[in-house]
Structure 1
Amino acid sequence: MATADQILALVRSFIADENDRFLAIASQVATHESRQGHHEVARQLKDLIESAKRRQTKLSPSRRPVPIIQPKGELANLLSASFPEDRLSDLVLSSENHLRLKQVIHEQRQRDKLAAHGLVPRHKLLLIGPPGTGKTMTARALAGELRLPLFVVRLDGLITKFMGETASKLRLVFEAIAESRGVYLFDEFDALGAQRAADNDVGEIRRILNSFLQFLEAETANSIIIGATNHPEILDKALFRRFDDVITYTLPDPAAVEEVIRNRLANFDTANLEWVSIRSSAQGLSQADIVRACEEAAKAAVLEDSKRISESFLLDAFEAKRHANRLQLQIGDIRNAGR
């Protein structure tokens, strides 16, 4: 018979909808039964596993059933759910960030093995860096790799002006984190984690941060929690110690610029592009800016019934993005000056 550990692992993988892991554990059970002399049981198990694998291969991603896990009641105003199919290979990352995220995925996939030795996989990540550098896409990729739902915490529904209400809503979110396994993204995390000693701080903000720190400290390893911020300098220092990993994102270097463009325009003819000029023109833009500029150039090519990307159009699109960013900064400065 299967061992108690194998039965527990089978149940956990079934609940988490991890088909590959479920079949891998079932194969271990089949091997165990064969060693015990239960050859007929082992043969039947192996036949069932092979049949399941063939069926899994035939199901294309678009035909696979999508789990329906939508927040209900008050949580519907606090969380939005999606089921990304993004992968780590879809991101353009530094080699260091790629290795660190691969380690997170590896530990999550082997969390039962770690738990058997009293160890906990990495599951609390703080992502910091400029807008458009891949923080949100990282959350989507982790959810896609692990076949988990992505829950984005809606800060507009979470943070209120009423004393004590935000903390009670935070409690609801962390109860969901404990009960429903998924990737939970706190975007614009600085809205929750601003320094408690800030000059413009009020008592309610301190209480919110203290509540968050307590909930985060008590949280189990069932889900992955991600905080993402463009302003790490205003985060309370105590937060950094509560996360398993702090991952820094930067604007793409020239090599990354070219990789982003080639990936996004893979279905078009880019043989005429002068890459030295292209890389230079895109410097200072985020990955998101570059992707949007590529999409503008792609649309222009499609509307002209061409597969060739116009270099001049692409350069103009980069400059338009740069101008929009400058304008956005100016608007932000005006708003800050008026406070």
Structure 2
Amino acid sequence: MASGDSLIKLFKSFKENNQVEFTKIAHEIIEDEKKKNHYLLADKLHKILFDNNYSSTLKNRSLNSKQLPVDKESGFQLLEMKFTKLLLDDIILTLSNKEKIQEIINEFEHKEILETYKLYPKTKILFCGPPGCGKTMTAEAIANELQLPLLYTRFDSVISSFLGETSTNLRKIFDFAKEGEWVLFFDEFDSIGKSRSLGSEHGELKRVVNGFLQLMDNFPKDKIIIAATNYETVIDKALWRRFDEIVVFNNPDRESIEKTVKVKLRNFHFDSLNIEKHLDDLVGLSFADIERICLEATKNSILKHENSITNDLFKKAVLKEKERKKVSIKP
């Protein structure tokens, strides 16, 4: 059962129609139930709170500045407020990228000191690289390390079929994000940041890029924006110049692969597994691919009542993942 203070805050935020505070307190209650090993209850509460249909309830409620912005036509939320327990130590990063991320966090944590010298922390960050290499996870880890919610931009709602509405949606996002403390995260950034020089692009999308440039320029310098893209070559050059830091993510090398397997299997027995034996087969795969292999091997080990994840089970998981990739790359 949630504490009396939490329930009072929850009811108060609901009465004040403060969706942001309500979501934050509700999340804290869920995490508290997990600590008590009430996983079934916590899972049910999480599904209720973060269900995709949750935003539909907003249509019948008056909106104010404390509620997440919605698309005018569909009524869908433009942002999701996410909370995560991910730490940087949970993510395998290159030494260079880890130093860059730690520098971003350190500067933000000491932004008041920098401001006394009329300096500002790096707060406009671009993550780029192939899918499944940890861009979103790293954004979540940064938010958690700074003890801030992650405002995740939902591009399925932002990109509108109505001329001009996409720019309006972006303005709503930035206006909302100016108030309060969060990490604003734009995934699939190429959806709105495509170069204006691409001849195939519609005129409206070019206006969207111009609008986004203005919104970034006017956004407070002490608030973090992270944009992530799998297609950095199509990003408009003017947008590149707006970012204080560029972090490039690549598929893991052999050393990172071995570390990833050990991290993903750390809660299970894998004494029988010779990781080095499988490295050649894993080179070229993404972090997400390797995680899927580890999960597959773990589940098969449990269902076959094995005492440890064996080389044979791991090999089968690798082959299954490679078959999956063959299907996904077919024209």
**How far has the Cα of 1:240 moved from its partner?**
1.0
- Kindly indicate whether residue 249 of structure 2 is the aligned counterpart of residue 249 of structure 1: yes
Give the alignment partner of residue 70 of structure 2, picking from 48, 68, 74.
Answer: 74
What is the SS of the residue equivalent to 1:80?
strand
What is the SS of the residue equivalent to 1:271?
coil
Deviations 1:77-124 (A, max 9, x none): 100111111111111000000000000110111111111221111111
The verdict on how the C-alpha distance between 1:153 and 1:73 changes in structure 2, with shifts beyond 3 A counting, is closer
Given that 1:180 and 1:223 are in contact with CA atoms closer than 8 Å, whether structure 2 keeps it comes out as no
Partner in structure 2 of residue 275 of structure 1:
275
Structure 1: give runs of 5+ residues left out of the alignment. Answer: 1-16, 18-58, 335-339
Deviations 1:136-164 (A, max 9, x none): 00111001100100111011111112111
- Kindly indicate whether residue 240 of structure 2 is the aligned counterpart of residue 240 of structure 1: yes
Deviations 1:196-219 (A, max 9, x none): 111211110100011011111111
Partner in structure 2 of residue 229 of structure 1:
229
**Bigger radius of gyration:** 1
**How far has the Cα of 1:270 moved from its partner?**
2.2
For 2:278 and 2:168, the matched residues in 1 are separated by: 50
**How far has the Cα of 1:307 moved from its partner?**
3.4
* AA in 2 matched with 1:283: V
Partner in structure 1 of residue 199 of structure 2:
199
Partner in structure 2 of residue 97 of structure 1:
97
* AA in 2 matched with 1:259: K
Deviating more after overlay: 174-183 vs 70-79: 70-79
TM-score normalised by the chain length of structure 1: 0.75
Alignment of 1:1-339 (within 5 A): 62=35, 71-72=67-68, 74=70, 77-330=77-330, 334=331
The verdict on how the C-alpha distance between 1:73 and 1:213 changes in structure 2, with shifts beyond 3 A counting, is closer
**How far has the Cα of 1:61 moved from its partner?**
8.9
For 1:239 and 1:304, the matched residues in 2 are separated by: 52
Deviations 1:175-202 (A, max 9, x none): 1121122111111110011111112111
Identity %: 34
**How far has the Cα of 1:327 moved from its partner?**
1.8
Given that 1:148 and 1:181 are in contact with CA atoms closer than 8 Å, whether structure 2 keeps it comes out as yes
For 1:70 and 1:188, the matched residues in 2 are separated by: 26
For 1:88 and 1:61, the matched residues in 2 are separated by: 22
* AA in 1 matched with 2:125: L
What is the SS of the residue equivalent to 1:324?
helix
Partner in structure 2 of residue 50 of structure 1:
none
Partner in structure 2 of residue 35 of structure 1:
none
For 2:35 and 2:221, the matched residues in 1 are separated by: 30
For 1:169 and 1:104, the matched residues in 2 are separated by: 28
Partner in structure 2 of residue 56 of structure 1:
none
For 1:156 and 1:60, the matched residues in 2 are separated by: 32
For 1:324 and 1:229, the matched residues in 2 are separated by: 23
What is the SS of the residue equivalent to 2:227?
strand
For 2:292 and 2:67, the matched residues in 1 are separated by: 31
For 2:127 and 2:238, the matched residues in 1 are separated by: 16
Given that 1:188 and 1:229 are in contact with CA atoms closer than 8 Å, whether structure 2 keeps it comes out as yes
CA RMSD of aligned residues (A): 2.2
Given that 2:129 and 2:249 are in contact with CA atoms closer than 8 Å, whether structure 1 keeps it comes out as yes
The verdict on how the C-alpha distance between 1:250 and 1:97 changes in structure 2, with shifts beyond 3 A counting, is same
Partner in structure 1 of residue 14 of structure 2:
none
The verdict on how the C-alpha distance between 1:260 and 1:164 changes in structure 2, with shifts beyond 3 A counting, is same
For 2:203 and 2:187, the matched residues in 1 are separated by: 23
TM-score normalised by the chain length of structure 2: 0.77
**How far has the Cα of 1:220 moved from its partner?**
0.7
Deviations 1:20-45 (A, max 9, x none): xxxxxxxxxxxxxxxxxxxxxxxxxx
Given that 1:79 and 1:154 are in contact with CA atoms closer than 8 Å, whether structure 2 keeps it comes out as yes
For 1:265 and 1:284, the matched residues in 2 are separated by: 20
Deviating more after overlay: 230-239 vs 266-275: 266-275
Structure 2: give runs of 5+ residues left out of the alignment. Answer: 1-20, 22-31, 37-48, 50-64
* AA in 2 matched with 1:288: A
